Amino acid sequence: MKGYSKLKGLLKERGINHDVLADLLDVHRVTVSNKLNRSHGADFTMTEVRKLCLYLDVSADIYFLNVSSENTTKEPQTT
């Protein structure tokens, strides 16, 4: 999965477009698109995540954490 698929699905379901999010986050709509798709290394700041979660009344755990495990390496645990 690329980007924030669950979040994009929720936005579509609720009829919330990039312009609405751009106004909420005080950024350009293209910036919102880049962040949603994680294009060009773009990602949401913690402040933006907080604003989005409050606006959408959702948990960051579901929509922002563990977005993509493709580029994640797990360190071996030592006992």
Predicted confidence (pLDDT) per residue in 20-60, tens digit: 999 999 999 999 999 999 998 899 999 999 999 999 999 99
Q: Is residue 72 part of a domain?
A: no
Whether the predicted pLDDT of 8 surpasses 50: yes
Whether the predicted pLDDT of 75 surpasses 70: no
Q: Is residue 77 part of a domain?
A: no
Containing structural domain, residue 32 = 5-63
pLDDT (0 to 100) of residue 72: 44
Q: Is residue 12 part of a domain?
A: yes
The DSSP annotation for 4-68 comes to: -HHHHHHHHHHT--HHHHHHHHTS-HHHHHHHHHTGGG----HHHHHHHHHHHT--HHHHTTT--
CATH of residue 45's domain is: 1.10.260.40
Q: Is residue 32 part of a domain?
A: yes
For the entire predicted model, the pTM comes to 0.76
pLDDT band at 68 (very low <50, low <70, confident <90, very high): low
Q: Is residue 79 part of a domain?
A: no
